[in-house]
Amino acid sequence: MPFSNKLLADEEEMSMKFRRTTSATQNATATQARLQLKEAFKEIDKDSSGAIDQTEFQDVLKYLQIQLQDPLNDADTVFDYMDHNGNGLITCDEFLNTFDDLIHKREAVGHMDVDDVIKDTLCGILSRAREERGHVIQAFMIAGQNIEHNDEGFGKGYWGCKWKFILFDKIYAKPVVDGKILVPEGEA
């Protein structure tokens, strides 16, 4: 079997197992939801290392069809949020703790589908991150206008009006790792 077909078969198998695990009940209690999330964690952790790495996590984002406006930054943002200790891996406890708030809110309402809890939590993380990113961009733009208005800084002769965009590219749009600009797939 060619490698690409094997990869697709593996993704389909994980998808089916993950769907069965997370959708076992449509109206779970908090305890049932946590048990289902533990099972989902085991399915996501394909190499049985006891932690989810970036690759395993990205497979889940694809499966759940989470809309990533900026695939590189959005996936990293959600992963980093869930990786509480910052070691580059999501442990089972970190995974479960990420969903606790929404589990308790949904239990109080009386309806909880674990698939929805996972998807809604991840989308909420992304939404807050995008809002924060928007505030940062807006702050840069205001700072640039203030510098230009007050004739402070190096002046237009040195930076021109491009400094804001250069800074934005270095921080968000085109991060550099090991001397190479990271470009999301499909944009190269």
Kind plus residue range of the DSSP H or E element containing 90: strand 90-91
* 65: phi then psi, degrees, rounded to nearest 5: 55, 45
Residues 6+ apart with CB under 8 A from 100: none
**pTM of the entire structure?**
0.62
Ranges of each domain in the chain: 3-131
In terms of Cα–Cα distance, which of 95, 103, 102 is closest to 28? 103
CATH number of 3-131: 1.10.238.10
Helix axes 71-82, 92-109, angle to 10 degrees: 90
- Tens digits of pLDDT across the chain (188 residues): 444 444 444 555 554 455 444 444 556 788 888 999 999 999 999 999 999 999 999 888 888 888 888 877 888 889 999 999 999 999 999 999 999 989 988 888 777 788 888 889 999 999 888 888 888 888 878 877 776 666 655 555 555 566 666 666 666 666 556 666 665 555 55
d(C-alpha 80, C-alpha 45), whole Å: 17
Q: Which residues contact 121 (CB under 8 A, 6 or more apart)?
A: 98, 99, 102
One-letter identity of residue 170: K
